[in-house]
Structure 1
Amino acid sequence: MKKDKKFYRDSLKELKPYDPHELPYKIKLNANENPYGLPEEIIEEILRKAKNLEYSRYPNANSVKLSEIVSSFWGLTRDNIVIGNGSDELIDYLIKAFSEKGRRIITTAPSFAMYKIYSIINGSTFVQIPLSQSNFSLNEDKVLEEAKKEDSSIVFIAYPNAPTGNYFAEDKIIKIIEESGCLVVVDEAYYEFGEKTFVPLISQYDNLVILRTFSKAYSLASLRVGYLLSNPEIINEVRKVKSPFNVNTFSQLAAQAVFENKEILKDSIEKIIKERERLINRINELPSFKAHPSRTNFVLVEVGSKENTDLVYNNLLKQGILVQTVSDPAFSTSRYFLRITVGNKEENDILIKGLENVSKNRPLTRLIYKL
């Protein structure tokens, strides 16, 4: 029988299924998770309340209790928030709601990979503006040049940026919000590790959206919970494309317990920040390694060539240490990086020892960009 492929989408031909490469490991430092996990007292509260859930019933369609708790903390209301299965789902909703097929979505290079993936899935044109080679700063004039084109719809700005780990200048982002004519999405997934935010500006700008996640500082990566903050008009449009019952009941319960007890999590966040600075300093003591400054729970490490990067990655893998390789030809065709999650002290010590072993056993070529 002749196979008719007319139902396949041409726009997806070049898109590969997302594969996080879940390899066996001793130490997992490739997904920017909280190495300390949830405190026992929060786990006990979740499990105690979970006994009374009605598992045969659909979840609350708009995660009302969680929405009220989170929005009120920020001085907002339920009309200012949408809860999603992680911020990934919310990125998809925003593109569905505000970027019709063929319209342009703009972000930086490098940046969070899911902006591109959901742009392609939804038929949008994806445009990247390279960051500065010297310090990963934002070129707001280039962003605005693209954003002001008639068919542009959304500008995504990760703040702090992933994978570079740095904040962009606040005045540059405000300029983009004020002058772009686009919806501007400020993705604050790593807010808790630097505590700089644009949330207070939601009432001032009608084109501003803030994204947050429970997967990083709040240790709920396995349950997939995120939220979106904006003005009621934007929220109403997002709800038009939101899947019904999108966040399951247990995830809503767990996220509520975590948010109500977030003060307890400050200890692990402070430990991560302290370990981050120690890790950066120790890596920078190694020849041919450059750990860039970070305001997140990961460190971007540069070891020169692609050969160097692959060598370090594979040697760590043999030692059971998972890290993430990073490259983006839209940023540079000659710079390659490792993104390393900040682990606990024991994990970081093992990582440093592993990097020392690589450096001793096979000297690396000179680092091109010693910034």
Structure 2
Amino acid sequence: MKARQIVEEMDSYVPGRSQDEIAQDFGLKKEDIIKLGSNENPWGPSPKALKAIEEEMSAINRYPESQLHELVEEIAKYSDVDTSQVIVGGDGADEIIDVLAKTFIDNGDEFIVPLPSYMYYEYLLKQYGAKPVYARWDLDENRLDVDSIYEKISPKTKMIFLCSPNNPTGTLIEKETLREIASKNPEILIVIDEAYFEYSEVTNKDLIDEFDNIFIIRTMSKVLGLAGMRIGYGLACSQIIEYMHRIKPVFSLTRLSFVAALNTFRDSEYIESSIKRGIESRQYLYDEVSKIDGLYVFPSKSNFMLIRVKDTGFTASELAHELMKRGVIVRDCTSFKGLDEYWIRISICTLEEDERFIEILKEVLS
């Protein structure tokens, strides 16, 4: 059976390595592995979410909620928007991106992504016949090259993806820059990925009241500690949300994901603690990595940071392999378009794990 042509041409998405994989490959104990490769919350989920999951277990023979009214209300309150401006999806933010594509992309459309950035946008939209066009992040200045966006816009441009803080650079895009791009291109959907906005303590959600061509992507996989439950949500003007609800799968959120999400948003103490500890861990890692000869680490407004390793004598792949042998998972960024073979990304861990990582990193580099 021959697959569609686009499927034949596509490469598979390359995710970060799991603890189970590393434990098996290197003969290590899973519980001893330090995972700095997937930008997760290392302190676990909200206790209220765990309790709600346990209480809901006996009901998994029933279909989940379809309208998600309670959850939409909690997200609207958390985001300070109207309920008509919220859409919720399963499979993390990935389903939200997929529904965006199914709602607005026609075969032959183009979308712009500045490189390097999150590559899953491309992976999903290409399936619907859209063509990626690449703008750029200025790695020397650690900022978005705005002119490169304007240079790539054509009559076929349907969307522009702007990740803020950007993955993997950790860079914020100035709100005025986003406002300018949206106002100059009213027929193009400006998709702002705020997966890590809590760590930056900056949001662009107020722009959805100014512009009907801005869509904000968010996830519960980072600060909110529910990566394994796969919950994402989007914020936009009510017309965009209504269009997307025509396409979105009805039962995309499981019963357990629903109650986990609902009770996490109701646990403000947990959220505040996760943000505070995440920022503390980020600062510790930045300070300590910056002291190591041969490494250059980007300042970050997220829960991860990008590190250039070229002056160590290792490639990213070689360094990642040496660290994995010692039970540390980092992200080899060689697969990120726009980066060469000398970049790794690390994400926050507990301070105890951070300290162990720094010791192991120094050992490998020495």
| Fold shared, TM-score > 0.5 on shorter chain | yes
- Which residue of the other structure, out of 46, 51, 74, is the alignment partner of 1:44? 51
- Which residue of the other structure, out of 287, 290, 294, is the alignment partner of 1:281? 287
> 1:212-246 CA deviation, whole Å, 9 max, x = no partner?
11000000000000100111110111112211211
Confirm or deny that 1:220 pairs with 2:226: yes
> 1:125-159 CA deviation, whole Å, 9 max, x = no partner?
01111111312311222212323x11110111111
Q: Contact conserved, 2:331 with 2:345, CA < 8 A, in 1?
A: yes
Unpaired stretches in structure 1, ≥5 consecutive residues: 361-371
Query: Structure 1: how far apart are the matches of 2:190 and 2:74?
Result: 25
- Paired amino acid for 2:54: L
- Paired amino acid for 2:304: F
Which residue number in structure 2 is paired with residue 74 of structure 1? 79
Q: Contact conserved, 1:110 with 1:328, CA < 8 A, in 2?
A: no
- Which residue of the other structure, out of 154, 158, 161, is the alignment partner of 1:156? 161
Confirm or deny that 1:313 pairs with 2:320: yes
Query: Structure 1: how far apart are the matches of 2:48 and 2:248?
Result: 33
Query: Which deviates more from structure 2 when the two are superposed, residues 194-203 or residues 158-167?
Result: 194-203
- Paired amino acid for 2:270: I
Query: Structure 1: how far apart are the matches of 2:336 and 2:216?
Result: 27
Instruction: State the SS of the aligned residue for 2:190.
Output: strand
Which residue number in structure 1 is paired with residue 180 of structure 2? 175
Which residue number in structure 2 is paired with residue 293 of structure 1? 299
> Structure 1 residues 158, 338: closer, same or farther in 2, change over 3 A?
same
> Structure 1 residues 329, 230: closer, same or farther in 2, change over 3 A?
closer
Query: Structure 2: how far apart are the matches of 1:192 and 1:223?
Result: 19
- Which residue of the other structure, out of 173, 182, 199, is the alignment partner of 2:205? 199
Q: How many residues align?
A: 351
> Structure 1 residues 47, 102: closer, same or farther in 2, change over 3 A?
same
Instruction: State the SS of the aligned residue for 1:92.
Output: helix
Instruction: State the SS of the aligned residue for 2:332.
Output: strand
> Structure 1 residues 62, 146: closer, same or farther in 2, change over 3 A?
farther
TM-score normalised by the chain length of structure 2: 0.91
- Paired amino acid for 1:304: K
> 1:259-316 CA deviation, whole Å, 9 max, x = no partner?
0113322123211211211111111111101111011111111111794322211110
Sequence identity percentage: 28
Confirm or deny that 1:351 pairs with 2:357: yes
Q: Contact conserved, 2:22 with 2:324, CA < 8 A, in 1?
A: no
Instruction: State the SS of the aligned residue for 1:24.
Output: helix
Bigger helix fraction:
2
- Which residue of the other structure, out of 13, 28, 31, is the alignment partner of 1:18? 13
- Which residue of the other structure, out of 8, 14, 30, is the alignment partner of 2:37? 30
> Structure 1 residues 75, 315: closer, same or farther in 2, change over 3 A?
closer
Query: Structure 2: how far apart are the matches of 1:294 and 1:91?
Result: 24
> 1:96-140 CA deviation, whole Å, 9 max, x = no partner?
111111100111101111111012212100111111131231122
CA shift at 1:28, angstroms?
1.3
Which residue number in structure 2 is paired with residue 369 of structure 1? none
> Structure 1 residues 350, 197: closer, same or farther in 2, change over 3 A?
same
Which residue number in structure 1 is paired with residue 196 of structure 2? 190
> 1:59-90 CA deviation, whole Å, 9 max, x = no partner?
12232210122113434333211101110110
CA shift at 1:187, angstroms?
0.6
Confirm or deny that 1:122 pairs with 2:119: no
TM-score normalised by the chain length of structure 1: 0.89
- Which residue of the other structure, out of 255, 258, 266, is the alignment partner of 1:252? 258
